[in-house]
Amino acid sequence: MYKIGELSRLTGVSNDTLRYYEKMELILPADRTAAGYRLYEPAALERLRFIQRAKMVGFTLDGIKELLSLRLDKAHHSCAEVKQMTEDKLSEIEQKITELRRIKDALKLMNDACCGGDISAEHCTILQALETGEPITQEVSC
């Protein structure tokens, strides 16, 4: 059995986050000592590590909750269900990457068009582009 502080140290998850995970039913409710301290079963450590790994690859807490339910009842679920969740997450990440590339390209154009000199910001091409909504198409020198 682990006290909340021990579980926190072993996983790097804060006490507040552990309490939140318990409230969200991501980890099982802890037993309590006579003094009121939370005590977690060893299975909570493995469950937290599963949650951490799922978060590292981009799953939300709702998605992780679903994965945990599949994990607990493997006999009644298929690998196809888990794969579909992963494919959905992959598609979402690919869309985010596309959007981030678009943002990066737009920022690069604005940055390259600005001389960054000591002239008044009245002539700043970045501010002008943001004010007018007109795209910057070429570098501007000061």
* H or E segment and range at residue 40: strand 38-40
Single out the residue of 47, 5, 7 nearest to residue 26, CA to CA.
Answer: 47
pLDDT at 20: 95
Please report where in the chains the tokens 């590292």 appear, as a residue: 56
- pLDDT tens per residue, range 103-121: 999 999 989 888 888 888 8
- pLDDT tens per residue, range 12-71: 999 999 999 999 999 986 788 888 888 899 999 999 999 999 999 999 999 999 999 999
Statement: residue 141 has pLDDT above 80: no
Single out the residue of 122, 110, 1, 133 nearest to residue 10, CA to CA.
Answer: 1
Q: Count CA atoms within 13 Å of residue 47 on its CB side.
A: 23
Statement: residue 140 has pLDDT above 70: no
Cα separation values, 46 from 39, 52, 85, 130, Å = 15, 10, 21, 49
